[in-house]
Chain A
Amino acid sequence: MLEVDKDNFEAEVLQASEAVLVDFWGEKCEPCKALMPDVHRLAEKYGDQLKMCKLNTSENRRLAISQKVLGLPTFVVYKAGEKVKEISGAENCSPDSVEALIKEFIK
């Protein structure tokens, strides 16, 4: 799973021609960390069909805020540099809901 940060976010996410899923997580976000093994499993399963990245907001706070992400966990799908769908909050982000989100954007 590709790690994105303030240096490569523009190139890897915003400039990408295909849809990209970004997992916004943080070092103090326990629900994010609990979800991470499942996200990695989903990246293994669907990685060749949908580009999936993770962004550590603890180290890229301004970047997250510039993307209007101020709450965790948040999963955003970008297409042609625009947000096309997002889910946010511990109750809304489960292995099942993340998988459903991925499936929505698989060709």
Chain B
Amino acid sequence: MSKIYDVAIIGGGPAGLSAGLYASRSKMSAVIIEKGKWGGQTATTEELENYPGSMENPTGPKVTERMKAQAEEFGTECLKDEVIGFDFSGKIKIVKLSKSEIKAKTVIYATGARPMLLGAPGEVELRGKGVSYCATCDGDFFTELEIVAIGGGDAAVEESIYLTKFADKVTIIHRRDEFRAAKSIVEKAMQNDKISVIWNTVVEEIYGDGIVEGVKLKNIVTGEQTDFKTDGVFVFVGTKPITEIAKGHIELDAKGYVIADEEMRTSVEGVFAAGDVRVKSLRQVITACADGAIAAVNAERYIEKNFEHITLPDAKKEGGWV
């Protein structure tokens, strides 16, 4: 019979890595399955000034690399594979992978979110040709060039500040007359003379012949339409949950986020959710980590109540625990 894990964690961002850490430290057998980059969205965030204890050396990739190493140190298995489906009908949950499957007593669904598209004409066609969703990936292409950033939340303002390391000028285009971003970030942006803001304005089209040349703007108060020449367009208009594979298995809200209670329990017994993928009011690294810890502890409680034994880890690894 193939191995039955205590916890199968879907997604290797801060929520999943924290769940793995807590599960392993409770001597549960845990596996994290990640199809893309470990660290999730945090791996492409340069500044992580709002995560306690990360003031020095705070880059997203470094912090999440350490989170992964820490989970592995305590015995979490980190598996690079894609989850293509589930079978939650039995007491043992089945996670279907591209070429195999994993059996587990509990599942923690922590797939996170991905950047939302703006939805403007030209956006899809010019992706990788000046339209970007990742400042750390693509920022240095725009060295000494002029770019626009669209959005008004933390990501839009924070990433705009980061982009001034490369670009000569960053113009933030925001549909409202004030930012939603944290005040300290806004203050920092306003003091940066490479940043300017166009308020009450939406981008109606991104255009260019094989490469971004400009955007068509519309002021939503006056209705005035203008043409704005630019070399690059960074889109930070929010995120959407990654729940395509969860649909039909656990309850989601109208926007596709997983509905879970304070104990991270979803509509299916033994299946928990953690991090940005969950319905919640604040999506940050710190809340994702908290969710992961809570989910792991409740997975353990669920196993204690519903299964006779907790699978003991390999004896040879025992020495590694403190």
Binding site for B on A (CB under 8 A): 26, 28-34, 57-58, 61, 64-65, 68-74, 86, 88-92, 94, 96
Contact = CB atoms under 8 A, between A and B. Distances in A.
A97 to B, nearest CB: 11
Contacts of A94: 35-36, 82
A96 B36 CA distance: 11
Contacts of A34: 36-38, 43
Given A89-B127, A89-B128, A68 B210 contact: yes
Contact of B140 (A58, A86, A91): A58
Contact of B137 (A61, A65, A72, A96): A72
A76 to B, nearest CB: 10
A86 B136 contact: no
Contacts of B140: 26, 28, 58, 61
Contact of B128 (A26, A58, A72, A96): A72
Contacts of A69: 128-129
Contacts of B44: 30-31, 90
Contacts of A73: 137
B146 interface: no
Contacts of A31: 36-37, 44, 134, 137
Interface in B110-160: 114, 127-134, 136-143
Interface string B150-176: 000000000000000000000000000
A3 to B, nearest CB: 19
A91 B211 CA distance: 20
Contacts of A91: 114
A23 to B, nearest CB: 13
Contacts of B136: 28-30
28 contacts: A26-B140, A28-B136, A28-B137, A29-B137, A30-B39, A30-B44, A31-B44, A57-B141, A58-B140, A65-B141, A68-B129, A68-B210, A68-B211, A70-B132, A70-B141, A70-B232, A71-B127, A71-B131, A71-B134, A71-B137, A72-B128, A72-B134, A90-B36, A90-B134, A92-B127, A94-B36, A94-B82, A96-B82
* Most chain A CB within a 10 A radius of its CB, from B37, B130, B140, B141: B141
Given A29-B137, A31-B44, A71 B128 contact: yes
Given A70-B130, A89-B133, A61 B39 contact: no
Question: Interface residues of B toward A: which range?
Answer: 20 to 34
B61 interface: yes
A61 B143 contact: yes
A73 B37 CA distance: 12
Please report whether the interface of chain A is mostly helix, strand, loop or mixed according to DSSP.
Answer: loop
A71 B208 CA distance: 15
A37 to B, nearest CB: 8
A29 B60 CA distance: 12
Contact of A70 (B35, B39, B128): B128
A51 to B, nearest CB: 22
A71 B43 contact: no
Nearest to A64: B141
* Most chain B CB within a 10 A radius of its CB, from A29, A58, A73, A89: A89
Contacts of B36: 31, 34, 90, 94
A69 B131 CA distance: 10
B137 A30 contact: yes
B43 A72 contact: no
Contacts of B138: 26, 29, 70-72
B109 to A, nearest CB: 19
A74 B37 CA distance: 16
A61 B210 CA distance: 17
A31 B232 CA distance: 20
Contacts of B131: 71
A29 B37 CA distance: 10
A96 B61 CA distance: 24
A70 B129 contact: yes
Contacts of B38: 34
